[in-house]
């Protein structure tokens, strides 16, 4: 069974326009005269360090925070956002059952398809009539995700959607996003997920939005600092679990960057040992 995000027609070409946007909490300026235009069909990852304002940017796009300067405009034609918040699970109605929770938002879905979706997210048949109040934290998160999957839209706004998902559900989400013809804006720390789905990367840096019109590998090619961080992260992963990432799964750019880093490390070590030898000679 293929799971798709239900699309409600097609939006106009212009989906989101951010103009000279300014916003901050208390005296911390998070967004500083930022500009960005998002069009139908674009799949964008918003990335940047913890606390730089990625979730806040999504809230501004959704109109849940008011800019202190500039504006965020949704396109005029049929822009219907479907927003997946980080704390979505907390907003579930505890008195409803698992099946009722999804059924009430799934306008065009057959009941068997809803059950199929819930099954794919690990809700076995005997759980469908269970009250939400009895679910574990992880189950609530997966249920919130199913509720999100069935809602019709032309724009998906996702904040860390892969948290709490197992690998089959993540793959289902990736496939559904690839097939979606509307626009997608996602914040995610899951590099693998981002690599699978995005065709544009926007980096939040010192309140500005740096635009990379290409996929995640393009972003790494263009951004030396990010590439170095990525290599450090990979080295850490390799140390913890040496076989987590097979070399064959690396992109050409990643392999080249890794080779370059090894060369540099080798040269640095050589210089250091030369320096030590010289120091010995002088002493
Ligand atoms: N309602 C609020 N009131 C005051 N400060 C807030 C509020 N919401 C967020 N912040 C602060 O604003 C900053 C940006 O938060 P935000 O959640 O947008 O960052 P983020 O880039 O999404 O972070 P992460 O990657 O850790 O999820 C943080 O320092 C956060 O503590």
3-state secondary structure 195-263: HHHCCEEEEEECCEEEEECCCHHHHHHHCHHHHHHHHHHHHHHHHHCCCCCCHHHCCHHHHHHHHHHHH
d(CA 28, CA 11): 35
So what's the pLDDT on residue 282?
40
Distance 229 CA to ligand 1 centre (A): 22
So what's the pLDDT on residue 178?
95
* ipTM of the prediction: 0.95
Cβ–Cβ under 8 Å, residues 246 and 256: no
Q: What's the first-to-final CA gap in the chain, in angstroms?
A: 75
The DSSP bridge pattern shows strands 183-187 and 155-159 to be: parallel
* 101-108 contact pairs (CB < 8 A, 24+): 101/132, 101/143, 101/146, 101/147, 102/143, 102/146, 102/147, 102/150, 105/147, 105/150, 105/151, 106/6, 106/150, 106/151, 107/6, 107/152, 108/6, 108/152
pLDDT tens, residue order, the chain (283 aa)? 688 999 999 999 999 999 999 999 988 899 999 999 999 999 999 999 999 999 999 999 999 999 999 999 999 999 999 999 988 888 899 999 999 999 999 988 899 999 999 998 999 999 999 999 999 998 999 999 999 999 999 999 999 999 888 888 899 999 999 999 999 999 999 999 999 999 999 999 989 999 999 999 999 999 888 888 888 888 888 777 765 555 555 666 666 766 766 666 556 555 554 454 444 444 3
Q: What is the pTM of this model?
A: 0.82
d(CA 259, CA 262): 5
Task: Among 27, 56, 60, name the best residue to mutate to test ligand 1's pocket (greatest count of ligand atoms within 8 A of Cβ).
Answer: 56
Separation in Å, CA 182 to CA 36, 45, 107, 109, 160: 17, 15, 18, 19, 19
> What SS3 state is found at 85?
coil
- Say which CATH topology domain 14-221 has: Rossmann fold (3.40.50)
State both tokens at 61: 């796009």
One-character DSSP codes across 132-149: GGGS-HHHHHHHHHHHHH
Atom of ligand 1 nearest to the CA of 187: 22
d(CA 175, CA 81): 19
Distance 238 CA to ligand 1 centre (A): 30
Closest CA relative to residue 217, chosen from 200, 240, 233, 205: 200
Distance 56 CA to ligand 1 centre (A): 6
So what's the pLDDT on residue 278?
45
Separation in Å, CA 278 to CA 85, 267, 268, 272, 282: 59, 16, 15, 10, 6
d(CA 264, CA 283): 29
Task: Among 27, 50, 51, 67, name the best residue to mutate to test ligand 1's pocket (greatest count of ligand atoms within 8 A of Cβ).
Answer: 51
Measured from the Cβ of residue 159, the count of other Cβ atoms closer than 10 Å reads: 22
* Angle between helical axes of 111-120 and 167-179 (0-180°, round to 10): 130
């Amino acid at each position: 069974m293929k799971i798709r995000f239900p699309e409600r027609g097609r939006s106009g070409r212009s989906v989101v326009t951010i103009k000279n946007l300014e916003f901050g909490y208390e005296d911390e300026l998070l967004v500083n005269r930022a500009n960005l235009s998002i069009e139908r069909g674009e799949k964008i990852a918003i990335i940047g360090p913890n606390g730089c304002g990625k979730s806040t940017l999504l809230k501004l796009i959704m109109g849940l925070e008011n800019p202190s300067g500039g504006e965020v405009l949704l396109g005029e034609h049929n822009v219907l956002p479907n927003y997946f918040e980080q704390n979505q699970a907390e907003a579930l109605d505890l008195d409803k059952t698992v099946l009722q929770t999804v059924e009430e938002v799934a306008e065009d879905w057959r009941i068997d398809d809803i059950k199929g979706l819930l099954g794919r997210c690990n809700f076995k048949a005997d759980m469908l009539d269970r009250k939400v109040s009895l679910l574990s934290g992880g189950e609530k998160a997966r249920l919130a995700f199913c509720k999100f999957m069935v809602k019709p839209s032309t724009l998906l706004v996702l904040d860390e959607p892969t948290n709490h998902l197992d690998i089959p559900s993540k793959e289902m989400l990736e496939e559904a996003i690839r097939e979606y013809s509307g626009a997608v804006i996602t914040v995610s720390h899951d590099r693998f997920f981002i690599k699978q789905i995005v065709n544009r990367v926007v980096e939040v840096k010192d309140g500005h939005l740096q635009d990379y019109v290409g996929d995640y590998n393009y972003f790494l090619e263009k951004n030396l600092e990010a590439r170095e961080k990525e290599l450090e992260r990979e080295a850490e992963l390799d140390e913890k679990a040496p076989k987590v990432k097979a070399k064959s799964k690396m992109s050409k750019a990643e392999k080249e960057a890794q080779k370059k880093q090894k060369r540099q490390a080798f040269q640095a070590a050589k210089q250091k040992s030369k320096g030590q030898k010289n120091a010995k000679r002088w002493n």
